[in-house]
Amino acid sequence: ALAEMIEQIDIHTNSGLAIEDCLNKVYLKLTISDDFFLEIAKHRALRRLFSSVASSYGVENPRLEIVSQAGPWTSEIDDPHSFMLHATTQAMSAILGGTDALLVEPFYNIFPNKPALAERIARNISTILSEESYLNKMVDPAAGSYYIEQLTQNLYNNALDLLKKIEAAGGISKIDVESFNPEAL
């Protein structure tokens, strides 16, 4: 996503748009997996990477909006209670990672005859996490956790190395899709 963003920034700045305007209008949408700690670190590393990219353009303290989407990515969940735990865990990892907006997709497969219930449960997950768990009141609840800090730093370093390789090859549009290994990260 960042390699594509860099390419778009270059296109827009070459056409006359100010770099600050480009960077301050960026938002990235992430899908949330079931790996709780990895998702926290992924969100945190993405902010650091964005800040590094902005610094390379000479912009300090850019604004990045991250929109995280939790949803029924697996067909293995067939129980309403499992879904609620699954979606809540995904949402919580995104919040602890510092997402700006959260989308929790309803799981209509579990509630085929009750779409209103599926929507209500999905909507209530973020409400419960903010209003009853007070996760929206803390600035950085994951700060200081050695494991999360190390995981974030490792993700940041690996992603930055990969981003540098992509840029050295001429950008994301010049990458040979056949030889590119997205699992390298």
What does the pLDDT look like over 2-17, one tens digit per residue?
Answer: 888 999 888 989 999 8
In this model, does residue 181 exceed pLDDT 70? no
In 15-145, alpha helices (H): 19-23, 36-56, 80-97, 115-131
- Domain 2-173 listed as CATH 2.60.40.10: no
CB contact set of 94 (below 8 Å; sequence gap of 6+): 30, 32, 39, 43, 68, 70, 102
**How would residue 37 be classed by pLDDT, with cut points 50, 70 and 90?**
very high
Question: By 3-state DSSP, what share of the chain in percent is helix, strand and coil, each rounded to 5?
Answer: 55, 10, 35
CB contact set of 143 (below 8 Å; sequence gap of 6+): 149
Q: Where do the domains of the chain lie?
A: 2-173
Please tell me the predicted confidence (pLDDT) of residue 185: 43
Pairing of strands 27-31, 101-104: unpaired
What does the pLDDT look like over 49-61, one tens digit per residue?
Answer: 999 999 999 998 8
Amino acid (one-letter) located at 154: N
